[in-house]
Amino acid sequence: MRFATWESDDRVRCGVVSDAGLHPLPDGTTVLDLVRAGLPAALDAGESALKEPAVSWDDGVRLLPPLAPPTVRDFVAFEEHVEGVVKSVAGGGAVVPEWYEAPTFYFTNPYALTGAFDDVRIPPGSQLFDFECEVAVVVGRDGASLTPEEARDHVFGYTVLNDWSARDLQSREMRVNLGPAKGKDSATTLGPWLVTADELEPYRDADGFLALGMRVTVNGTEVGRDLLSNMGWPFEELIAYASRGTEVRAGDVLGSGTCGNGGCLAELWGRGGHLTPPPLHPGDVVEMTVEGIGTIRNRVVQGLDLPKVRPARRRPRDRERTW
């Protein structure tokens, strides 16, 4: 089943997606409410909604992010992506041995989520704007210090994620051995809807990975293509690691990290040694399609023109006050 959140006629609704359109759930219900109720209850609610008339796609519908997650973690689970990006962003030459030891993630900004077809602004001051083609898992139950086997039962569903990235800002931050922060928090696209876990089980391969085709284009030209099953760890292990010594809660979003083979421009810049294809500019349209989930498409627009950030003042190392 596919759950969506949308805006039409100045109202925000959520409901179930079908070929006929969007079948609203009762007023006041959110997708996050459904996730917290658990997958069986959500599926029952969805079946009830499908019996009601659908809102047509022609009725001025604007898709919003499918849910408002309490937290968003983004992993870096594709080895091929790391190979290229460490050269262009981090200034390195190879995947560090530590990458293989355990999954790595950072927390990104849940207030910067955008809808599947919204315009996306270039972050202030950035000249190297980039996309990242990913899939995100949505946690369906609270849990702490889960095993991967337990984590399988905590999966509610999946959605497409574009982790928009200001590579010049990110590169500066990571040279301070902290971040990414402002290089990543301007926009994250989620959508077009949330597909429940049962829908994608037929794609699971013999090793327990979801073998979904992933494709990204810029202005209609294919830039990258990969399989989700090329992740270094399956989603169950990412959830287990995120919960290690702490908690995950229903509604948390965990990104897979960027797929390889052109899942972002920075990977290609690192492999080629030059900015080809070029960074994103206003007017560029980035489209991502993930098999079994759907397509998101965003147009890049000019960002805000803000004053430059003031550099730190250099200070003496005096330890005593002078009067």
Q: Read off the pLDDT of residues 103-113 as tens digits, 9 standing for 90 and up.
A: 999 999 999 99
Burial class (CB in 10 A: 0-12, 13-18, 19+), 204: middle
- Of the pLDDT bands very low, low, confident and very high (cuts 50, 70, 90), residue 319 is confident
Please compute the mean of the pLDDT values over residues 77-85 and round it to a whole number. 94
The residue ranking higher by pLDDT, 85 or 253, is 253
Which amino acid would we find at residue 100?
Answer: Y
Cβ-based neighbour number of residue 82 at 10 Å: 25
pLDDT at 178: 87
Q: Report how far residue 276's alpha carbon sits from residue 303's, in angstroms, rounded to the nearest whole number.
A: 22
Q: Read off the pLDDT of residues 270-288 as tens digits, 9 standing for 90 and up.
A: 999 999 999 999 999 999 9
CA distances from 312 to 176, 287, 309 (A): 14, 39, 9
pLDDT at 59: 87
pLDDT at 309: 95
Please compute the mean of the pLDDT values over residues 122-150 and round it to a whole number. 98
Beta bridge partners of 247: 144
Please compute the mean of the pLDDT values over residues 240-266 and round it to a whole number. 98
Q: Report how far residue 92's alpha carbon sits from residue 152's, in angstroms, rounded to the nearest whole number.
A: 35
| Close Cβ partners of 323 (under 8 Å, ≥ 6 residues apart) | none
Place of tokens 């079994």: 292
Cβ-based neighbour number of residue 270 at 10 Å: 22
Q: Report how far residue 22's alpha carbon sits from residue 169's, in angstroms, rounded to the nearest whole number.
A: 39
Sketch out the chain's domains with CATH numbers: 2-64 (no CATH), 72-301 (3.90.850.10)
The three-state secondary structure class of 201 is: helix
Whether the per-residue pLDDT at 32 is higher than 70: the answer is yes
Q: Report how far residue 125's alpha carbon sits from residue 183's, in angstroms, rounded to the nearest whole number.
A: 10
- Of the pLDDT bands very low, low, confident and very high (cuts 50, 70, 90), residue 118 is very high
Tell me what percent of the residues of the chain surpass a pLDDT of 90.
91
Q: Read off the pLDDT of residues 6-22 as tens digits, 9 standing for 90 and up.
A: 999 999 999 999 999 99
pLDDT at 148: 97
Whether the per-residue pLDDT at 39 is higher than 70: the answer is yes
CA distances from 317 to 10, 16, 187, 302, 321 (A): 57, 62, 39, 43, 11
Q: Read off the pLDDT of residues 204-238 as tens digits, 9 standing for 90 and up.
A: 999 999 999 999 999 999 999 999 999 999 999 99
Among 215, 203, 196, smallest CA distance to 297 is for 215
pLDDT at 90: 63
- Average pLDDT over the chain reads 96
Q: Read off the pLDDT of residues 154-180 as tens digits, 9 standing for 90 and up.
A: 999 999 999 999 999 999 998 898 889
What does the H/E/C string look like for 133-155?
A: EEEEEEECCCEECCCHHHHHCCE
Please compute the mean of the pLDDT values over residues 56-74 and round it to a whole number. 96
pLDDT at 128: 97
